[in-house]
Amino acid sequence: MRDLGERAEQKAFSADRDTTISDVETDRRAMMGLAAGGLASVLLGMTATTAQATGGIGFVGSAQAQTSGPTPAPWWPSKFGKDDQVGATNLITPTKILDALKLVKTGKVYEMSHVYESSMPKFGERVFALRIPGAPTGGPLGANNVIWHDEFVATEIGQVGTQFDGLGHIGMAFKGEDKTEMRFYNGFTSAEISNAYGLKKLGVENVKPIITTGHLFDLAGLKGRSLNLGEEITVADLEACLGRQKMSADAIKSGDCVILNTGWASLWNKDNAQYVKGEPGIGVDAAKWLISKDIVLVGADTWAIEVVPNPDPNLAFPVHQELLAKNGIHIHECLVTADLAADGIYTFCYVMLPLKIKGATGSPGRPIALV
C-alpha cells in the first residue's frame, strides 16, 4: 500500500477538469489506495492508527471488473454539461411532472418524513438543538399587545433527520489532504467549492423541485421480515421485488425516483444506537442497476440507503459516491416508508422541495407521496 501511495503522490490528477480517462486509468489502482480513511474510521469505530495500519480505505481493494466494482475516475464531465451543478433533477421536465400528477386519483397523502426533534438518531457527532429564546421571544407590542415566538436551531441542517443529500455532500479524495485532488460531482474540486460559509458550487439551492413518479421497492415485504444490519440488497432482490409487486423493470423510467422499504425505521427513536450502528441497503451493483434506469433519486427508511458496513471492508459509503459524485443522483435518507408498504402502494407522485439554502450540502424537508 505504501508503494501504491507513493506512486499516486507522484502521478496525481492534474488540477484542471479535463483529465483524460487514459491518464487516470494508468494509475487508477495506485490512487484508489489513498482514499479517505476518515469516514471509515467513524463507520467501523476504528482509530486513525488502526485505519493507517490497515492501509486506509482503498476504493478498489483488488482489480475488480469495472462492471461490478466502483466506477473508476474520471466520472466527469457530466452528461448535463461540464459546468452543470443541477445533476439528475435536470430530468424532471414539465412532461415528467404531468405524468406524475396523473397518478393522483384519491388525494391521499403519505407523509414520508420523521418529526425533527433532538431525540432522533443521528450519524456520528451531528446535533439538532432547537431553542425558543425568551418566553415568549418578543412583545407585548402595540395597542394590540402582540407577542411572538422565534426559534433558534443549531444543527447540520441538511444532514440530520429526514435528509436530502445535495451534490456537494460527497466526493472522493485522490491524494490525501490535497484539495485540488478531492473531486465531487462533475469533477469540481474541493479547492474550487469548499468554503466555511457554504459551498461555492454544488450547493443544494441548485436542485430543481422534485415532483415526479416514485416507486417503492418493498424489500421487507419480499423477505417477510425487516432486513438486518449489514444485509446487502442485490439486483436479484430488486428484480424479485418488482415481480412480487407485479411491475416490469420498464416501469422505472428516466427521471423517476426509487424508494426502498427495509423495515429498519422500526428502530427510529426506539433503539437509536442500533439504528445508526449500521443498516441494510443496496451495494454498488444494485446502485449501478438503478443508475442504468436514469433515475433522479434513491431514498430509503435508513440513514444512508446503502449497506453499512459494506461487505467489502475496504469500502466506506461507495454507493454515496456512485450516486452523488459520479452520477448526480440524489439520496434521500431516513424516510418513512412503512405506510406505503402496508397499503401496497408501489407507484405514486413523489414531492420533495429541497430548501434553497445557499451553499448547503443537503436539505431537510417534508417529502410526500400522493396517490
> Is residue 165 a contact residue for ligand UVW (CB under 6 A)?
yes
Shortest separation between residue 20's beta carbon and ligand UVW, angstroms: 30
> Is residue 123 a contact residue for ligand UVW (CB under 6 A)?
yes
- The C-alpha atoms of residue 256 and residue 242 are separated, in whole angstroms, by 15
Shortest separation between residue 101's beta carbon and ligand UVW, angstroms: 30
> Is residue 256 a contact residue for ligand UVW (CB under 6 A)?
no
> Is residue 304 a contact residue for ligand UVW (CB under 6 A)?
yes
CB-nearer residue toward ligand UVW: 308 or 341: 308
Measured at CB, which residue is nearest to ligand UVW? 304
> Is residue 275 a contact residue for ligand UVW (CB under 6 A)?
no
Query: What is the enclosing helix (H) or strand (E) of 332?
Result: strand 330-333
Shortest separation between residue 261's beta carbon and ligand UVW, angstroms: 17
Q: In the window 215-244, what residues touch ligand UVW (CB under 6 A)?
A: none
Bond preceding residue 72 cis, omega within 30 of 0:
no
CB-nearer residue toward ligand UVW: 159 or 162: 159
> Is residue 303 a contact residue for ligand UVW (CB under 6 A)?
yes
> Is residue 284 a contact residue for ligand UVW (CB under 6 A)?
no
Shortest separation between residue 214's beta carbon and ligand UVW, angstroms: 20
> Is residue 159 a contact residue for ligand UVW (CB under 6 A)?
yes
CB 361 within 8 A of CB 185: no
Residue with cell 422541495: 353
> Is residue 39 a contact residue for ligand UVW (CB under 6 A)?
yes
CB-nearer residue toward ligand UVW: 303 or 348: 303
- The C-alpha atoms of residue 73 and residue 187 are separated, in whole angstroms, by 9
**What is the number of alpha carbons within 13 Å of residue 120 lying toward its C-beta?**
24
The size of the interface with ligand UVW (CB under 6 A), counted in residues, is 8
CB-nearer residue toward ligand UVW: 39 or 247: 39
Shortest separation between residue 37's beta carbon and ligand UVW, angstroms: 13
Q: Strand 182-183 to strand 330-333: parallel, antiparallel, or no bridges (unpaired)?
A: unpaired
Q: Nearest CA to 30 among 63, 54, 75?
A: 63
Bond preceding residue 74 cis, omega within 30 of 0:
yes
CB-nearer residue toward ligand UVW: 165 or 312: 165
> Is residue 351 a contact residue for ligand UVW (CB under 6 A)?
no
Per-residue cell: 198: 457554504
> Is residue 59 a contact residue for ligand UVW (CB under 6 A)?
no
> Is residue 348 a contact residue for ligand UVW (CB under 6 A)?
no
Per-residue cell: 299: 431514498
CB-nearer residue toward ligand UVW: 69 or 299: 299
Q: What is the DSSP letter of 65?
A: -
CB-nearer residue toward ligand UVW: 24 or 112: 112
Measured at the CA of 297, the angle between CA 19 and CA 255, to 5 degrees, comes to 90
Q: In the window 306-335, what residues touch ligand UVW (CB under 6 A)?
A: 317, 333
Task: With H, G, I as helix, E, B as strand and everything else as coil, classify residue 101.
Answer: helix
Amino acid at 353: L
Sequence-separated (6 or more) residues with CB below 8 Å from residue 5: 30, 33, 34
Shortest separation between residue 122's beta carbon and ligand UVW, angstroms: 9
> Is residue 185 a contact residue for ligand UVW (CB under 6 A)?
no
Residue with cell 433527520: 161
- The C-alpha atoms of residue 157 and residue 172 are separated, in whole angstroms, by 22
- The C-alpha atoms of residue 129 and residue 143 are separated, in whole angstroms, by 34
Shortest separation between residue 221's beta carbon and ligand UVW, angstroms: 24
Bond preceding residue 136 cis, omega within 30 of 0:
yes
CB burial string 142-151: b at 16+ within 10 A, e below: eeeeeeeeee
CB-nearer residue toward ligand UVW: 27 or 232: 232
Binding site for ligand UVW (CB under 6 A): 39, 123, 159, 165, 303-304, 317, 333
